[in-house]
Amino acid sequence: MTGQPITIELERESARGRYVATVAQHAEPAELTFSIASETLVIADHTGVPDSLRGTGVGHALVARLVEDARAGGFLIVPLCPFVNAQRRRHPEWADAFKA
């Protein structure tokens, strides 16, 4: 973990969106991109974490935010992104937020 606060912002445009995570004193943000398939289905398609942030927990924080938003928004996640899918497998408590 970074030991520094992670700020995550949601950006949406039409049927696409992304979560952008910034960490103080790191110039490059991390991101998790998605496509909106329907009101009840979101496809997580890519997670990008710069080398300077690898191993800090920022990728996990991005997926956790997506899961939180899925639960609050009533949609399910299709984990097309390998990182999101790996996080899904590591966190069985998130099963309700993913499409089986």
pLDDT tens for 9-38 read: 999 999 999 999 999 888 899 999 999 999
Whichever domain contains 57, its CATH number is 3.40.630.30
Q: Residue 84: which pLDDT band, with cuts at 50, 70 and 90?
A: very high
Q: Is residue 23 assigned to a domain? A: yes
How far, in Å, CA of 55 to CA of 99, rounded?
A: 27
pTM for this model (two decimals): 0.94
Closest to 76 measured CA to CA, from 27, 16, 36: 36
**Does position 2 have pLDDT exceeding 80, yes or no?**
no
pLDDT score, position 38: 96
Q: Is residue 1 assigned to a domain? A: no
CA 31 vs. chain centroid, Å, equals: 7
45-70 mean pLDDT:
96
Q: Which residue segment(s) compose the domain that 86 sits in?
A: 6-97
Number of structural domains found in the chain: 1
pLDDT tens for 51-62 read: 999 989 999 999
Q: Is residue 11 assigned to a domain? A: yes
